[in-house]
Amino acid sequence: MTRVLLFGRLSDLAGWRMRELDPPPASLSALRARLAEADPALGEALAAAGVMAAVDRVLVRGDAALATGAEVAFMPPMSGG
């Protein structure tokens, strides 16, 4: 199982905030492909410039292998204060 979290405008776009995928995708790119297949608009938004991914709360650039039980977060540009 892989836990997927969406933040900010991504969760509004997808209509969900957290989803658990089973069987778990083997890599971040496989996860992106599966999400894009189910929701092409979300797939496009996840690939947009400025959207970051974290695996188990560590920022990842490019692809990464996903262990079983991994938590993957997709984060649009950040804005606090």
Partner 1 sequence: MAVRLQVEPFEPGALLSAFSAGRRETGAVVSFTGLARAGGGAVTTLTLEAYPGFTDVEIARIAQDAQARFSLDDVLVVHRIGVIAPGEAIVFVATAAAHRRAAFEAADQLMDYLKSRAPFWKKESGPDGARWIEPTARDLTDAARWD
**Which residues contact partner 1 by CB under 8 A?**
5, 7-9, 12, 50, 54, 57, 73, 75-81
* Residue among 23 and 78 whose Cβ is closer to partner 1: 78
> What minimum distance in Å lies between the beta carbon of 5 and partner 1?
7
Q: Which two tokens stand for residue 14?
A: 């997808």
Q: Which two tokens stand for residue 33?
A: 């492909």
* Residue among 9 and 19 whose Cβ is closer to partner 1: 9
* Residue among 5 and 30 whose Cβ is closer to partner 1: 5
Rg for the chain (alpha carbons), in Å? 12
> What minimum distance in Å lies between the beta carbon of 78 and partner 1?
5
CA distance 1 to 14: 20
Which amino acid belongs to residue 24? P
CA distance 30 to 56: 17
> What minimum distance in Å lies between the beta carbon of 11 and partner 1?
8
